[in-house]
Structure 1
Amino acid sequence: MKRPLLYLLFALLTFGQLEAQQDYLFPGEQFDPAIPSPKEFLGYEIGEWHTRYDKLIAYFEKLAHSSSMAELQVIGQSHQLRPLVVLVISNSDNIQNLEKVRLNHLQLVDPQKPLPDVSRMPAIINLAYSVHGNEPSGGEAAILTAYWLLASQSEKAREIRENAIVMIDPAINPDGRDRHTNWANMHKGNPPVSDPLDREHNEIWPSGRVNHYWFDLNRDWLPLAQIELQSKIDWYHTWYPNVVGDFHEMGTNSTYFFEPTKPFGSENPVVPRKNYEEINNKFATYFAKALDEIGSLYWTKEVFDNSYPGYGSTYPDIQGGLGLVFEQASSRGHIQSSQRGDITFAFTIRNQLKTSIATMEAGVKEREYMHRYLREFFQTALTEAGKEKVKSYIFGDEFDASRNRLFLQLLLDHKIKVYENDRDQNLEGKSFKKGKSWVVPTSQPQYRMVRSMFERVTEFSDSIFYDASSWTMALAYGLPYAGQTNFSATKEIVTLENTKLHFPAPENYVAYILDWSDYFAPKFLHQIQNAGIHVEVTSLPFTSATDSGNKEFPAGSLIIPTAFQKMSSEELRKHLQQAATSSGQDVFATKTGFSLKGIDLGSNNVTAVRKPKVIMLIGNGTSQYEAGEIWHLLDTKVGMPITKMDISSFNRVNLHDFNTLILPSGFYNILSGSQINHLKDWLNRGGTIISLRTAIQWLQSQEIIKEEFLSADQEQGPEFIPFASRRDFEGAQAIGGSVYLTRLDITHPLGFGYRNTELPVYRNSSIFLKPSKNKYQTPVRYTADPLLGGYISKANLEKIKQSASVIVSQVGQGRVIHFIDNPNFRGTWFGTNKLFLNALFFADKM
């Protein structure tokens, strides 16, 4: 095969010949000898090995110690305690006066303040790398970019240092990066192997793409489920960069992608057209020039998504900056064959280096323009808000204080102004109580983020989505909310104050009682079960005379009798109070089992709560994202340990040691006949399987369950469709991620803790399951008009109307609980998490 000269020359460049790398990367440039080069510090040329994160940080520390033009800032830490850092580079005067520069820059964000002299202000440029840990060329390019900017004596480098504050994130996902780094280095051959079949190019599960909890951090800029992005967003709003570079990798057979992305179809509806039609094209000329100079091929204006606000290249667009996604064809190791020849790791790094420098150059050349745009962005936000019919959004759940607080914290993290609702109101059939609801005005600088949080969008200019087509966070949190044509509130929420909890004074009680409605009630239950406390749950409502007066308790409320406990009343009280404090729960007590209304505490409708003993199958063939979401939920929201077993080790497990088996999406064909028989026997004897999305198809194929599916019929199209249009037509049949309204049976154990029968759910699959033949076992089904947000074809929408969101299949004495829609999506669907947790705690009540 004839190979392009560029690829052939670099494929011939062996690692023993990398002494000439400086000429390859920086032809003709001179460098300050006082600044150590990467090779001098690391002992190898960049690209020869994958650089461990600790070495990368050590080199950045060395740069900061070696020059007055650099400062290393620690802005947080990863789940595995790796520091999250930003290396700040500028001239010495700027570095010594960073706070003064920052405060002056922030005047641009406040339309009420005078416009400063932008001609004298440096560009604020953020270069962010390796949010996906197994896209490592970016992190290596970060090393070279930092070295070049500090040490290069070129006029271009001097101009950038004089006119910009450059902030380099070497790896947003250090935990995933090190996972991949160790994999690539431990499998590196000598000479390196380019065959794509080689183990080096094929990571085991979980991949380095994800963080500690197997989350894709490039989807987390909006939901902020992970501490890495919580730290990043906190830092972001202290600076509001003019330009943010977001460096990625893609398939080996591609070339290089930079923005603009696909017009209209991949653009966010709240971002000004100027961003896409003018600024992106202005910056693209710099990237094209940089890659043309070295003969690297590239492409633009196709695919890639700028619509979802949770990307690192999209969030800056909704904050008055310019987010730029870069995608480099990956070597996925040190060298790999492609359709254009062998791609080396060093080659991928050089492309990322060139566009990094071009981003800084463009940011400096266009700095006055970008400063004015930043001010214009927030000014036009107020102007557009003034034209909106909706002047504010009111929200709040009367019975779930914790979920309210979680959503309030999300709004505050995104710098959205929120006010207390000062009166009882009824809007759109929903009740909003004073003290338990809040108001968000649309007329505020973060107007566009307000829209992202509350607005429902169902009409689009395209039907192909790279990712989610709906992201309304108020729906994800499952909170009642409504738009208002006015705004009247005075007390702004600046920080969340600690709430005062109720706990009974010491007395002789028959039982303690807890309403299951609060989001963190499962955390309370797990903690007291772990302490050995016997707990019961009511399947019907009742009204009790408590230490705080007469109170109504719905189905699902917990009853902790003081009798039947294997501990003293003092120990019981101590454990309950500790659990209530750590989970934020109000606990009540009664001196009588005789209820004022409804069932008594000794009713047969009050039964013991089984302590979950949970195992989850993971590994090749299963979804690392769904498994991670479950692990993260139980770790961080419940404090419940979970056994995560690789599917290949299933022959070692005795399922009778557990009462619950979780099957994330996947196909479990690795299991043998005898293993499946063991599974069936355990299930028939009373076990519980919780299956998500595609796992139900495997269960059906093994005749473990017998449910009925609806076929995913396509839209009726013409008999002939041009070959070039195939992607658009077929893609329109997919359900990439959209939100639907369901009807929840709140009397079913899966519905315990819910007060509202309407429940938004998130769907990103084309699995259509008919309601159960057992009329009592479809607790969540779609409404007649279900679409709340996002894109779906007409044919698929009709299928959804006929199908179930959650069903329970009885198998002998056991059951399989099927979640066709993911209740834990991206760690942000707080509104449906309780469905999943109810499946853990109350499965035997079904």
Structure 2
Amino acid sequence: MINDCFRLVLTILTYSQPNAMKYRGFFIVVLLFGLGFSAKAQSDYFFPPNARFDKSIPTPEEYLGYPIGTLHTRHDAIVGYLRELARRSPRARLDTIGETYEHRQLVVLTVSSSANLNNLENIRRKHLELVDPTKTITDFSDQKSIVMLGYNVHGNEPSSSEAALLTAYYYVAGLHAEVRQALDEAVLLIDPAFNPDGRDRHSTWANAYQGNPLVSDPVDAEHNEAWPGGRTNHYWYDLNRDWLPLAHVESQARIDFYHKWYPNVVTDFHEMGTNSTYFFEPTKPFGSENPVVPRDNYDGLNNLFAGYFHEALDEIGSLYFTKEQYDNSYPGYGSTYPDIHGALGLVFEQASSRGHLQDSRMGKVAFAFTIKNHLTSSLATVRASVAEKATLLAHMENYFDSAQKEGEQAGGGWVFGDPYDDGRNQAFVDLLLRHKIKTIALNEDISLGDKTFKKGKAYYVPNAQGQYRMVRTMFEKVTTFYDSIFYDASAWTAALAYNMPYEQYNGRNELRGAVLKRSDLQGEYASVPRAEYAYLIEWNEYYAPKALNYLLDKGLYVNSAFKPFSIETHEGVREFGYGTLMIPVARQEANSNLVHAYIEEATEIAGVKAYAVSSGYSASGIDLGSGSFETIQKPQVLMLIGPGTSSYEAGEVWHLLDSKVGLPITKVWTDNVGRIDWSQYNTLVLVSGNYSSLGENTINRIKQWVREGGTLITLRSATSWAVASGLVNEKFAEGPKRETPERMDYATARDFRGSNAIGGSMYMADVDITHPLAFGYTSRELPVYRNHSIFMAPSANPFSTVVRYTENPLLSGYVHKTNLEKLGGTASLLVNGIGRGNVILFVDNPNFRGMWYGTNKLFLNAIFLGNLVSRP
């Protein structure tokens, strides 16, 4: 314990901030008295001088056995301490709201006065009247300010979870007037770790490499964790981009809890480069703001709270900056999503120690001081939320009231639905309902534009609702911007990401139907009668690959239709398109009863429908014994991972195959590639990365494996590498030629370069729906996502360009005009044959952020059908 105290004080002293010198006396005290004074020393350092605490409530140090800042605290210990606070104090209650993929608990500690906690449900229900446009509230005196203190969405930005422990202790054990007032006037929802799996990955690394004495050299292993790092969750996703897509269990649990409360203020604590200082909002005006958020959020609330933050940070001598950077435009951020829900979302960024102590250009950055900065901002957030309670409550009430009125003034709404894909329809409706967007299942057909939406597969989202601004987020295309510099994506139209047919409805009459709930999406399983000849499953269903994988796992022979046909089924004559799965009964090793059981299990698991047929003779098109049916080989998939490869893309592939298909994928580190038995795999995935480091022998072995019949799938920069290295015989398209003025002001360099980047926007492409890599698509129009500057020419083989950008492709988002001029007509997906195998070249990422349901099928076709592509 004495050693821990020594290290804590050392880290405090070695951080070169203006007020650090005053703790030298404290250093001597700790050396002299050690264990007996460590708890008081910690309180003196982290908390305001006037703070008084209930001694019956254990400090974090007393519970953990070490001072905060001397180790990275494991998530289970964080949960344990919060549980102890809830056990000891009538001011606190701990709720488990979910769990991560690795089964770590997602918890929220609710802190308020004992009287408020005893009346918590009534407080919550009263608060929810603010988001109901049918209610008008003018007196907020009996309302509480609801403050959600959220921490550690990026696992290797760990200081905020430590600050969460101190914040919880401060309000649970505090006896001074400020705490008592806060607990009377507010309900604090403390979420200590948005990303427990990533946090523990990083904490284990930092603790394992911690030196004694501490090593502040930036090149030390402690400050350079191994690939993929702790930033991301179990599947290597950035959860701070997932508040909109909701691809992951952590985000889904958090959004459910969020909509249970609709907090007035939400914090989002981060860390940035070690050589920086501290950032709090406001962000860069106008250019970094979301287009649907009213100005009073940015001009009013943001600037109002900034005063509290700078006063608190000035008090402890911290350097900081505001208004220069960071983005509040993308709605999937934890600091932006609340803004679109009548709250004030707040992002904080702290220079990171990336370990316990690290050198920076302005001295040493200590873990303890990074924690103190975030703690200071946490307390200032609560202080502001209490002092400005009436303003916050009025803002929220006005926000949803004005949203309703704007929606009514806009009139109409949006009609959507894919007539051929129930799975994708259900997934999109589920997303809307999770975001509390009113959605109606239409009870009659409707034609809009050139589309007809059929009853049973047609849905309507009216504009006239409190969530009107989220409706705009889901459906509107935006191509006009105040600025041309984007920290992240400039387009996020969810309907396009899902490749969802939709049209704007401008009629005067409201469309009728049943208002949906998420429980309505479970549906009823449709059993298929036993067949003695064959079964058919339509490939245009999003989850058909899941059914296919199950059947292949069971050892059944499954064939894919390379031409359309119509045939008599148990439901009469039906038309079947490209890719339709045909499972014959007679040629299986299993008997007909077992085949039928497998078919029923597969379709139930995947939520798709099977059709029984009693004859192979078609009404039109190919018969079931035609050579235009190809037998599908079970994929044995390998993916290279590790330093030099994109963990984001690798995680997207892994998550897609795990969660949407149930197909295992072998992940091999690039430095273990020499151990691979290539005969065990028929599919290799290379995500973005530079694979030249594999060496000539390995690259030649991959080429030989493809010649022998393997399928190589490359994504984005891996495609660029494959072309540049001569692995495939394809060519880059001529890129944009930008004219740079002879002389420019130095201060404009960042903006000039940033405006020429393609930071994330949506484009229309033409897809060859007769190609095996596009089987299952029923329209040649396909939105794709692009966030790179790789321009590929169409293949010299006229049949090998599967997806190609249209001539004027921009759908939504920002793109520089010179990029757009060169993008039209270039390739998005190519296939190149080598020997008996194929190289499938994705210029774009079809699996981006787990949200692009619309292009996932291209990738899954590459997995299941890639080896069946011939070269005409």
TM-score by length of 2: 0.95
1:278-322 per-position Cα deviation (integer Å, ceiling 9, x unaligned): 110000000000000011010000110100000000000000000
Q: CA deviation at 1:4?
A: 4.8
Q: Is the 8 A contact 2:15 2:364 kept in 1?
A: no
Asked if residue 709 in structure 1 is aligned to residue 732 in structure 2, the reply is yes
2:339 matched residue in structure 1: 317
How has the CA–CA distance of structure 1 residues 714 and 219 changed in structure 2, closer, same or farther, with 3 Å as cutoff?
farther
How has the CA–CA distance of structure 1 residues 505 and 347 changed in structure 2, closer, same or farther, with 3 Å as cutoff?
same
Q: CA deviation at 1:505?
A: 1.9
Q: CA deviation at 1:497?
A: 4.1
Asked if residue 821 in structure 1 is aligned to residue 834 in structure 2, the reply is no
Q: CA deviation at 1:717?
A: 4.1
Asked if residue 504 in structure 1 is aligned to residue 528 in structure 2, the reply is yes
2:646 matched residue in structure 1: 623
Q: CA deviation at 1:716?
A: 2.6
How has the CA–CA distance of structure 1 residues 262 and 732 changed in structure 2, closer, same or farther, with 3 Å as cutoff?
same
Name structure 2 gaps, 5 residues minimum.
Answer: 1-13
Q: CA deviation at 1:398?
A: 0.3
Residues 546-585 of structure 1 aligned to structure 2 (within 5 Å): 546-585=569-608
* Equivalent position amino acid for 1:5 in 2: P
Residue 608 of structure 1 is aligned with which of 612, 631, 656?
631
Q: Is the 8 A contact 1:255 1:329 kept in 2?
A: yes
Q: CA deviation at 1:529?
A: 0.3
Q: Which moved more, 1:647-656 or 1:266-275?
A: 647-656
Q: CA deviation at 1:500?
A: 3.5
Residue 220 of structure 2 is aligned with which of 193, 198, 212?
198
Q: Is the 8 A contact 2:16 2:364 kept in 1?
A: no
Asked if residue 30 in structure 1 is aligned to residue 67 in structure 2, the reply is no
Asked if residue 228 in structure 1 is aligned to residue 250 in structure 2, the reply is yes
Residues 601-680 of structure 1 aligned to structure 2 (within 5 Å): 601-680=624-703
1:125 matched residue in structure 2: 147
Asked if residue 686 in structure 1 is aligned to residue 709 in structure 2, the reply is yes
Asked if residue 442 in structure 1 is aligned to residue 463 in structure 2, the reply is yes
Q: Which moved more, 1:20-29 or 1:576-585?
A: 20-29
Aligned length: 844
Partner Cα separation in structure 1 for residue 494 and residue 651 of structure 2 = 20
2:74 matched residue in structure 1: 52
1:481 matched residue in structure 2: 502
Q: Is the 8 A contact 2:160 2:374 kept in 1?
A: yes
Residue 432 of structure 1 is aligned with which of 446, 453, 464?
453
How has the CA–CA distance of structure 1 residues 790 and 825 changed in structure 2, closer, same or farther, with 3 Å as cutoff?
same
SS in 1 for 2:368: helix
How has the CA–CA distance of structure 1 residues 417 and 12 changed in structure 2, closer, same or farther, with 3 Å as cutoff?
farther
Q: CA deviation at 1:7?
A: 5.8
1:415 matched residue in structure 2: 436
Q: CA deviation at 1:504?
A: 3.1
How has the CA–CA distance of structure 1 residues 377 and 2 changed in structure 2, closer, same or farther, with 3 Å as cutoff?
closer
Partner Cα separation in structure 1 for residue 464 and residue 136 of structure 2 = 19
Partner Cα separation in structure 2 for residue 790 and residue 554 of structure 1 = 33
Partner Cα separation in structure 1 for residue 272 and residue 216 of structure 2 = 17
Residue 478 of structure 2 is aligned with which of 447, 453, 457?
457
1:673-700 per-position Cα deviation (integer Å, ceiling 9, x unaligned): 2111111111111111100000012223
Q: CA deviation at 1:97?
A: 1.1
2:545 matched residue in structure 1: 522
* Equivalent position amino acid for 1:437 in 2: A
2:8 matched residue in structure 1: none
1:705-756 per-position Cα deviation (integer Å, ceiling 9, x unaligned): 1221134435434322111000000001111100000001000001101111
1:730 matched residue in structure 2: 753
Partner Cα separation in structure 1 for residue 578 and residue 160 of structure 2 = 53
1:831 matched residue in structure 2: 854
Q: Which moved more, 1:749-758 or 1:21-30?
A: 21-30
Asked if residue 134 in structure 1 is aligned to residue 156 in structure 2, the reply is yes
* Equivalent position amino acid for 1:175 in 2: D
How has the CA–CA distance of structure 1 residues 373 and 5 changed in structure 2, closer, same or farther, with 3 Å as cutoff?
closer
Q: Which moved more, 1:744-753 or 1:492-501?
A: 492-501
SS in 1 for 2:694: coil
Asked if residue 541 in structure 1 is aligned to residue 564 in structure 2, the reply is yes
SS in 2 for 1:260: coil
SS in 1 for 2:440: strand
Provide the aligned C-alpha RMSD in A. Answer: 1.6
Q: CA deviation at 1:2?
A: 12
Q: Which moved more, 1:55-64 or 1:804-813?
A: 804-813
Residues 126-525 of structure 1 aligned to structure 2 (within 5 Å): 126-388=148-410, 391-486=412-507, 487-495=510-518, 496-507=520-531, 509-525=532-548
1:443-495 per-position Cα deviation (integer Å, ceiling 9, x unaligned): 10000000000000001000000000000000011110000112322421123
* Equivalent position amino acid for 1:456 in 2: K
Q: Is the 8 A contact 2:530 2:612 kept in 1?
A: no
Partner Cα separation in structure 1 for residue 727 and residue 21 of structure 2 = 54
Q: CA deviation at 1:3?
A: 5.4
Q: Is the 8 A contact 1:609 1:841 kept in 2?
A: yes
Asked if residue 64 in structure 1 is aligned to residue 86 in structure 2, the reply is yes
Asked if residue 791 in structure 1 is aligned to residue 804 in structure 2, the reply is no
Q: CA deviation at 1:811?
A: 1.5
Partner Cα separation in structure 1 for residue 256 and residue 734 of structure 2 = 46
SS in 2 for 1:309: coil
* Equivalent position amino acid for 1:751 in 2: A
SS in 2 for 1:118: coil
SS in 2 for 1:710: coil
Partner Cα separation in structure 2 for residue 596 and residue 227 of structure 1 = 46
Q: CA deviation at 1:12?
A: 11
Partner Cα separation in structure 2 for residue 259 and residue 651 of structure 1 = 50
Q: Is the 8 A contact 2:15 2:369 kept in 1?
A: no
1:163-214 per-position Cα deviation (integer Å, ceiling 9, x unaligned): 1100100001000000001000000000110000000000101111000111
SS in 2 for 1:559: strand
Partner Cα separation in structure 2 for residue 298 and residue 377 of structure 1 = 31
Q: Is the 8 A contact 2:763 2:783 kept in 1?
A: yes
Partner Cα separation in structure 2 for residue 775 and residue 7 of structure 1 = 69
Partner Cα separation in structure 1 for residue 527 and residue 93 of structure 2 = 50
Name structure 1 gaps, 5 residues minimum.
Answer: none
How has the CA–CA distance of structure 1 residues 527 and 191 changed in structure 2, closer, same or farther, with 3 Å as cutoff?
same
Q: Which moved more, 1:715-724 or 1:330-339?
A: 715-724
* Equivalent position amino acid for 1:499 in 2: G
Partner Cα separation in structure 2 for residue 401 and residue 713 of structure 1 = 41
Identity of aligned residues (%): 52
TM-score by length of 1: 0.98
1:590-634 per-position Cα deviation (integer Å, ceiling 9, x unaligned): 111111100111111111111111000011111111000110000
How has the CA–CA distance of structure 1 residues 833 and 165 changed in structure 2, closer, same or farther, with 3 Å as cutoff?
same
* Equivalent position amino acid for 1:835 in 2: L
How has the CA–CA distance of structure 1 residues 385 and 82 changed in structure 2, closer, same or farther, with 3 Å as cutoff?
same
Partner Cα separation in structure 1 for residue 750 and residue 23 of structure 2 = 34
Q: Is the 8 A contact 2:529 2:612 kept in 1?
A: no
Partner Cα separation in structure 2 for residue 86 and residue 697 of structure 1 = 45
* Equivalent position amino acid for 1:678 in 2: R
1:75-100 per-position Cα deviation (integer Å, ceiling 9, x unaligned): 11111111100001100000111101
